[in-house]
């Protein structure tokens, strides 16, 4: 049983920088609104998002250093638990491929003395979170978290690159280099299909690739009770806590310099997050579905934290470290199949980086899934021009119990 759920997670900033070197961007396949246009309605049925407490703006831009590409950001407020000592943290990456809030230590003001959580052995609880582009190492702390008008109290969060604990032990660092929260982004908001980033397995078994107990100089693998694991904030909201809706506009060919959309909390809990005529794709115990491309079936996942569509296609020319660079826009299709057998054909387009405007920070691109095994990664370009629902495992919705995806 896979207990490190977020191994399917974000190909984040580090991969974006390696791919485009700080220049260029990609775009979706259908003609679309101009750059910076507003997102389509958040529901498939109807309802306004204006002034709703469960809606927060998503912005795709160049990040804090102008070098991010296909990265959707929101602003998150963190507070010292039970106090009014709070800080708004902008440019936090919205990631449907991971679970929990991770903030760069460098992004926190000196006044943000978030209390450290304690490992069962009595020392500081820390985490080695393995992503496809490296690991996030840091302490686990408690914070009151607010996103838009929704909040969760005393939520376990990770502070990445926290110098107050020992460096990552070899068992963690051997999984990959630090992927660099704090480069173009100040954090990651993991809102995928699970409440905790590991689950029951880590509560009973110490894994050398996940949770640790640390002092100032040494760390040892540790168990982590569910209540101490880094947690998807949505699951602990008072309302609208069964999932989320991501709505982004389509992006014109040659890309867009800025894209604005919405992140809406809850699935079927208000008039602005109804499923309408969206097709529901039940996910398996890992939060995955299946995708058939060119006659081969792959494990598939939907990940706003991946900055491209990553899929295998030996006929496609590559450049920029594994990204596809077709001479002309390619219109392709694949079949998505749920864990219960529901299927639908999804059309998508990809464009070569050489065709994208140098000022673009969003565009439809694809690349080889090297390092992801036999997988099909529906990254951020899949979300352009769509309203996509994710329901948390075990949560009740009008369409049944999560986990599921719908679009």
3-state secondary structure the chain: CCCCHHHHCCCCHHHHHHHHCCCCCCCCCCCCCCCCCCCCCCCCCCCCCCCCCCEEEEEECCCCCCCCCCCEEEEEEEECCCCCCEEEEEEEEEECCCEEEEEEHHHCCCCCCCCECECCCCCEEEEEEEECCEEEEEEEEEEEEEECCEEEEEEEEEEECCCCCCCCCHHHHCCCCECCCCCCCCEEEEECCCCECCCHHHHHCCCCCCEEEECCCCEEECCCCHHHCCECHHHHCCCCCCEEEEEECCCCCCCECCEEEEEEECCCCCHHHCCCCCCEEECCCCCCEEEEECCEEEEEEECCCCCCEECCCCCCCEECCCEECCCCCEEEEEEEECCCCCEEEEEEEECCHHHCCCCCCECCCEECCCCCCCEEEECHHHHECEEEEEECECCEECCEEECEEEC
**pLDDT tens across 342-352, in order?**
999 999 999 99
Largest Cα–Cα separation, the chain: 59
Res 32: pLDDT: 26
C-alpha 209/C-alpha 289 separation (Å) is 25
Question: Do 144 and 81 touch, CB atoms closer than 8 A?
Answer: yes
How far is Cα 321 from Cα 243, in angstroms, rounded to an integer?
34
The whole-angstrom separation of Cα 196 and Cα 115 is 19
Q: Which residues of the chain have pLDDT under 50?
A: 1-49
pLDDT digits (tens, 9 = 90+) for 264-289: 999 999 999 999 999 999 999 999 99
Q: Write down the pLDDT at residue 174.
A: 86
170 CB-near residues (< 8 Å, 6+ apart): none
pLDDT score of 351: 94
The reply to whether the predicted model has a pTM over 0.85 is yes
Question: Could you tell me the two tokens for 358?
Answer: 């140098």
Shortest CA distance to 391 belongs to which of 236, 192, 196?
Answer: 192
Phi-psi region of 322 (alpha: psi -120 to 50; beta: other; left: phi over 0): left
Find where tokens 């994208």 sit.
356
From first CA to last CA, the distance across the chain in angstroms is 28
- Pair 181, 104: CB distance under 8 Å: yes
Domain locations along the chain: 1-407
pLDDT at 321: 83
For position 182, what pLDDT does the model report?
A: 64
pLDDT number for residue 372: 79
1-407 in CATH: which number? 2.40.70.10
**Residue 77, strand partner residues:** 88, 146
């Amino acid at each position: 049983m896979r207990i490190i759920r977020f191994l399917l997670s974000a190909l984040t900033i580090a991969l974006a920088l390696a791919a485009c070197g700080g220049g260029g961007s990609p775009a979706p396949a259908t003609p679309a609104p101009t750059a910076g246009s507003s997102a389509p309605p958040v529901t498939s049925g109807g309802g306004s998002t204006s002034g709703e407490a469960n809606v927060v703006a998503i912005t795709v831009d160049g990040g804090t250093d102008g070098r991010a590409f296909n990265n959707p950001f929101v602003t998150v407020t963190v507070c010292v638990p039970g106090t009014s000592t709070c800080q708004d943290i902008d440019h936090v990456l919205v990631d449907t491929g991971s679970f929990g809030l991770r903030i760069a230590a460098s992004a926190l003001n000196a006044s943000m003395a978030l209390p450290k959580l304690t490992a069962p052995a009595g020392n500081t609880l820390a985490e080695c979170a393995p992503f496809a582009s490296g690991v996030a190492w840091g302490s686990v702390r408690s914070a009151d978290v607010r996103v838009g008008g929704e909040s969760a109290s005393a939520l376990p969060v990770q502070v990445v690159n926290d110098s107050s604990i020992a460096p990552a032990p070899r068992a963690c660092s051997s999984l990959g280099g630090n992927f660099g929260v704090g480069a173009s982004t100040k954090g990651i908001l993991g809102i995928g299909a699970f409440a905790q980033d590991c689950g029951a397995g880590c509560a009973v078994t110490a894994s050398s690739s996940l949770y640790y107990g640390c002092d100032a100089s040494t760390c040892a693998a540790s168990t982590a009770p569910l209540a101490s694991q880094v947690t998807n904030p949505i699951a602990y909201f008072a309302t609208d806590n069964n999932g989320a809706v991501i709505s982004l506009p389509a992006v014109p060919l040659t890309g867009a310099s800025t894209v604005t959309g919405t992140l809406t909390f809850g699935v079927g809990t208000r008039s602005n997050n109804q499923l309408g005529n969206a097709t529901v794709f039940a996910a398996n115990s890992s939060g995955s579905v299946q995708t058939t491309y060119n006659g081969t079936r792959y494990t598939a996942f939907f990940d706003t934290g991946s900055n491209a569509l990553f899929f295998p296609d030996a006929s496609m020319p590559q450049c920029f470290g594994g990204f596809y660079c077709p001479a002309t826009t390619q219109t392709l299709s694949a079949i998505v199949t749920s864990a219960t057998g529901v299927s639908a054909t999804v059309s998508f387009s990809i464009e070569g980086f050489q065709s994208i405007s140098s000022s673009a920070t969003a565009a439809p691109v694809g690349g080889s899934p090297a390092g992801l095994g036999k997988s099909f990664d529906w990254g951020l370009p899949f979300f352009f021009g769509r309203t996509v629902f994710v329901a948390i495992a075990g949560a009740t919705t009008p369409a049944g119990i999560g986990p599921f995806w719908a679009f």
